[in-house]
């Protein structure tokens, strides 16, 4: 994984390697939480009796900024990056709350077996749930699709009636078209 470019500048402050390493380490920690950070800009300034650290992160879709003042440069950098860390975590929480993902452990996906609800005294059977897209096509196209593939079953939307139909191969040979009736 490529490292995030960090632009470190100082106004009235001598920048030493220790401050640079500290900033790099803390931004790397933030990159673990929000991996799409494109650039980090850190400006250190001295104002009379205090040191000010301004940190700006440019990430995909957002810009986060924090500023902190302290008696020395290291404390100012730590405070600013701690504040930025809170912003990054809030942003990440908002993103994950807004975009719910389907669970990888959800058994109702991808043809996994789901035990049905227990019934009194009956032997437990398993039910396989498989979701397939019902593509719109004519019955003739569905016949061609079933002949070309090795599948025993084809679910499709009948283009003429706009109703879901099932075309299946029978065990004794031949084909069967299942249409909903009513």
What structural domains and CATH numbers belong to the chain?
6-98 (3.30.160.100), 131-182 (3.30.505.50)
CA 47 to centroid of chain Cα atoms: 43
Residue predicted with more confidence, 177 or 2: 177
Query: What's the mean pLDDT when you consider all of the chain?
Result: 82
- pLDDT the model gives residue 83: 92
CA distance 54 to 131: 52
- pLDDT the model gives residue 182: 65
pLDDT > 90: percent of the chain: 18
173-179 long-range Cβ contacts below 8 angstroms, 24+ apart? 175/143, 175/146, 177/139
Residue predicted with more confidence, 165 or 121: 165
pLDDT > 70: percent of the chain: 84
Give yes or no for residue 94 having a pLDDT over 90. no
pLDDT grade, residue 161 (50/70/90)?
confident
Q: What is the pTM of this model?
A: 0.52
Chain segment 117-143, per-residue pLDDT in tens: 655 556 668 888 878 778 888 988 888
Cβ atoms of 45 and 78 within 8 Å: the answer is no
The number of beta carbons lying within 10 Å of the beta carbon of residue 130 is 11
């Amino acid at each position: 994984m490529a490292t995030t470019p960090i632009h470190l500048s100082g106004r009235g402050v001598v920048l030493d390697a220790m401050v640079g390493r500290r900033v790099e380490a803390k931004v790397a920690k933030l990159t673990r939480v929000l991996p799409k950070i494109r650039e980090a800009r850190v400006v250190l300034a001295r104002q009379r009796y205090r040191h000010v650290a301004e940190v700006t992160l440019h990430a995909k879709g957002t810009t986060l900024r924090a500023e902190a003042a302290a008696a020395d440069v290291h404390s100012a950098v730590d405070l600013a990056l701690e504040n930025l860390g809170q912003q990054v975590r809030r942003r990440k929480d908002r993103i994950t709350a807004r975009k719910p993902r389907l669970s990888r452990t959800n058994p109702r996906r991808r043809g996994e077996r789901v035990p049905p609800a227990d019934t009194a005294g009956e032997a437990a059977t398993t039910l396989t749930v498989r979701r397939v897209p019902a593509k719109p096509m004519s019955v003739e196209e569905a016949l061609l699709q079933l002949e070309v593939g090795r599948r025993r079953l084809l679910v499709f939307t009948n283009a003429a009636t706009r109703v879901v139909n099932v075309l299946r191969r029978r065990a004794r040979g031949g084909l069967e078209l299942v249409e909903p009736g009513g």
